[in-house]
Amino acid sequence: KQEVTQIPAALSVPEGENLVLNCSFTDSAIYNLQWFRQDPGKGLTSLLLIQSSQREQTSGRLNASLDKSSGRSTLYIAASQPGDSATYLCAVRFNSGNTPLVFGKGTRLSVIA
Amino acid sequence: DTGVSQDPRHKITKRGQNVTFRCDPISEHNRLYWYRQTLGQGPEFLTYFQNEAQLEKSRLLSDRFSAERPKGSFSTLEIQRTEQGDSAMYLCASSPSAGEQFFGPGTRLTVL
């Protein structure tokens, strides 16, 4: 079964700290991987999309990496701010572009001022 | 606003009633997806359309659920004879083919 796991489930850090969120997946045959942010009771905001041929993507203070051989992706957040507090979801499209996203359960991040 | 929109944002219904949700995708996106999310979980795939064709349905989509995308534009998701277990956030997303998916704000369903 193709699964996505995110550890830890929750993380609390002081403002200004750099942090890494982890995502692992069970099958290295992926098409692409997407990181999302979700605020409580809201929809998902796309942060970064990494195609299977790419190793990393950057947007502002965010950097996502992809290692297919080990079945891992990381989301690096630099100089965290209280406004970064949210749940971060990793989602993988396995095999081909015609399959749906498979989501992890997310990491709930709290950045303390 | 050129993002994905969903209507209604909240729906409270009694068990056994039928409900219908609407999703308007980003206009140039040919793919439209429906997901369901319960508290503390990631979204789970329900079904998706490419233009007006429904290409895949999850095992989660029981025969009480039906989705349509007439003319390949907006989509509706109907749940018949709602049950308390149907209470969840229903999320719609759209994408250009197999590209990046963009999500709407969701419809929160509460079945009493």
The alpha carbon of residue B71 is apart from the nearest alpha carbon of chain A, in Å, by: 20
Which residues in chain A touch residue B58, judged by CB atoms under 8 angstroms apart?
A: 100
The alpha carbon of residue A108 is apart from the nearest alpha carbon of chain B, in Å, by: 10
Tens of pLDDT, residue by residue over A85-112, are: 999 999 999 988 888 899 999 999 999 9
Asked if B99 lies within 8 A of A49 by C-beta distance, the reply is yes
Tell which of B44, B94, B103 to mutate to test the A interface (max A CBs under 10 Å): B103
Q: Which of residues 67-106 of B touch A (CB under 8 A)?
A: 91, 93, 97-106
The alpha carbon of residue B81 is apart from the nearest alpha carbon of chain A, in Å, by: 25
Which of A42, A49, A100 is the closest to B100 by Cβ?
A49
Tens of pLDDT, residue by residue over A24-75, are: 999 889 999 999 999 998 999 999 999 999 999 999 999 999 999 999 999 9
A42-48: list long-range contacts, CB under 8 Å, 24+ apart: A42/B105, A42/B106, A43/B4, A43/B6, A43/B91, A43/B103, A43/B104, A43/B105, A43/B106, A44/A89, A44/B43, A44/B91, A44/B93, A44/B103, A45/B103, A46/B100, A46/B101, A46/B102, A46/B103, A47/A75, A47/A88, A48/A75
Tens of pLDDT, residue by residue over B36-51, are: 999 999 999 999 999 9
